[in-house]
Structure 1
Amino acid sequence: MKQVMGKRVALKVAALAAGVLLAGAAVAQTALTVGTTVRVATDKGPIDIQLYDTDAPATVANFLSYVRKNAYTGALFHRSVKNFVIQGGGFSFNDATTPRVTAIPTDPPVNNEFSAARSNVRGAVAMAKLGSNPNSATIQWFVNLANNGAGSTANLDGQNGGFTVFGRVSTPSMITVDALANLPTVDAKNCTTTLGALATALDTLPLAQPLTPVTCANIKAVNVVQMRWAKELPAKATSTDTDRVLNYLEALYPQHIAPASPATQTAQGYTYRYYANTNAHVGSKDGVMYYLVPSISAEIKTLGPLAELLQQAAAAGY
């Protein structure tokens, strides 16, 4: 196993660099107020969506309604177009059903809340909808992988009444988004016999694992990219400093501390989380963050001052 977090100095430098990037990213949309954060768990890491509760209230309420009834558990990322978008939320995939792809039940559509102040820039999260119907958004959403707003070739701000941006992916979580966007895709639109009629929407289906050989019958749950779950992160005002830092680190280092959002525990004065996939412990004690990786060393290593890491977490919206 590779050394979790790298060396302490390397981690601190990387974290400081991330803080600088975050500060720069925030300048473009300073008028927008981030409220609720929803974490979408994937096998590549967490996607933390920071919602514009005040600026797009109806769309946020619609999204949270699906989150709170676990509608996105097992939902498929069915579309991935490089330098454009990655999209999902509307379909589930199950090897045991016939067909394998089924639609997730939807609520009534939400009225379009597009605003030029919430442009479809890189990292912006928007609702998908039917063509020529601005008020048709229900359950599907997408992440912009590039600037798709006004002045771009795509110009999602100018199509179909504008696509409503209702949140943004936190800067650390773009690591996971980019990892998903870099996966290979397969054109499965003709796999209607195996996958069902909804396969016609799967012309750029991202693959978590390659197909050998590439056949419709071989497209199974292990090959596709699904949302493991989606849930609200506790509000900053009700979270401990340690939990806020841990949420931030999970997004920043998905390859090292996974899966995200395990239960917070206490022992011997430490407040910590245990990450089963990487056999790592990360937590705090007496104002200092530590990590322990028994496969590398029996010693507990210092990560850095809790206050310093909290400052970086806060700059990232955690």
Structure 2
Amino acid sequence: MNTILRLLRPGLLAIVSLALATTVWAQSTMVRLHTTQGAIDIQLYDTAAPKTVANFLSYVRSGAYTDNFIHRSIPGFVVQLGGYAWPASGYAGHITTFPPVVNEFSVARSNVRGTVAMAKLGGDPNSATSEFFFNLVNNAANLDTQNGGFTVFGRVTTPGMAVVDRIAALGTVNAGGAFTNLPVVNFSGSTILREHVLRLTDVTEFPPLFAQSDSDRIFNYLEAAYPQYLSPSHGQAGVASGYTFRYYAGSNAYVATANDKVWYLLPSISPDIGLLGDKAFWLSIAVQAGY
């Protein structure tokens, strides 16, 4: 049990003010991009960029982003997706897009590291449709000042940025056209196959934070932060014997809350229910990470 606690418990993290963080994120919708490299969670700026968020959610809710793949990765700049699909039936080209969304750029939402912004056509500030990108660094000097500014509509959580950074560290190939900086995995031949690209296997839309329970926020954080123990990246919820829990079929694991504590069960390591710590402690960590 002590071994699992050492593995799961983060390093020395200060407990932050829950009231302050909740004020910032309370109205925010969270979307989880389930990628072949891990979960990327985005807190959307519902109030600050309402038209852009509504546009993004229209693609999420239609299922258009499932089997989408990351088609552009430039280290020290951006990772981009939202355009091209590769379902099991074969490469499908660019997805069908909805009408362009009006540009909602604001200097109050700058293109700094960890933010998510809409891609668009050169010379047309109001041309954004389905494609978006993650800012890997502070791109404000470039992206805030051209083409009407690129609209930032969300921010990636701390665990999600670890996944984005891993993707940015992967090798790329020049496949021509829109794919001159295509990130790939396990590729050494001449023909790029579906298994070589980085796909979205699913997209989950979570409720705004004010509508989530404290347990949900903790579980959402743990799923993103510890995918090696909690797989798939969104467990099956349940209540039993006083525990509120999620079960992860891929790793045959449970996380749960009860009596103001957070618990875990990893039968592959131990048959005993283990204590992770106080619920308030883990909620503070989740909030600090953007949950």
Deviation at 1:167, TM superposition (A): 0.7
TM-score (norm 1): 0.83
- Distance across 1 between alignment mates of 2:30 and 2:24: 18
Instruction: Spell out the pairing of 1:274-293 with structure 2 (5 A cutoff).
Output: 274-293=247-266
The C-alpha deviation readout for 1:20-77, integer Å capped at 9, x for no partner, is 7x99xx8xxx989862111111122211111111111111111111111111111111
- Distance across 1 between alignment mates of 2:62 and 2:282: 33
- Distance across 2 between alignment mates of 1:282 and 1:288: 11
Residue 182 (structure 2) aligned to one of 196, 199, 205: 205
- Distance across 1 between alignment mates of 2:232 and 2:238: 15
8 Å CA contact 2:27, 2:209 repeated in 1: no
- Distance across 1 between alignment mates of 2:24 and 2:206: 23
Question: 1:224 is matched with which residue?
Answer: 197
- Distance across 1 between alignment mates of 2:25 and 2:247: 35
- Indicate whether 1:317 and 2:290 are aligned: yes
8 Å CA contact 1:19, 1:316 repeated in 2: no
Q: Runs ≥4 in structure 1, deviation > 4 angstroms?
A: 30-34
Residue 33 (structure 2) aligned to one of 40, 48, 61: 40
Instruction: Spell out the pairing of 1:114-193 with structure 2 (5 A cutoff).
Output: 114-150=105-141, 155-189=142-176
Deviation at 1:311, TM superposition (A): 2.1
Unaligned runs of 5+ in 2: none
Question: 1:196 is matched with which residue?
Answer: none
Instruction: Spell out the pairing of 1:60-79 with structure 2 (5 A cutoff).
Output: 60-79=53-72
Question: 1:8 is matched with which residue?
Answer: 5
Deviation at 1:290, TM superposition (A): 1.0
- Distance across 2 between alignment mates of 1:315 and 1:241: 13
C-alpha change, 1:120 and 1:303, in structure 2 (3 Å) is same
C-alpha change, 1:291 and 1:247, in structure 2 (3 Å) is same
- What is the RMSD of the two structures over their aligned residues, measured on CA atoms? 2.4
Question: 1:108 is matched with which residue?
Answer: 99
Deviation at 1:252, TM superposition (A): 1.8
C-alpha change, 1:131 and 1:226, in structure 2 (3 Å) is same
TM-score (norm 2): 0.91
C-alpha change, 1:68 and 1:168, in structure 2 (3 Å) is same
Count of residue pairs brought into register by the alignment: 288
- Distance across 1 between alignment mates of 2:186 and 2:178: 19
C-alpha change, 1:70 and 1:94, in structure 2 (3 Å) is closer
Residue 51 (structure 2) aligned to one of 50, 54, 58: 58
C-alpha change, 1:242 and 1:265, in structure 2 (3 Å) is same
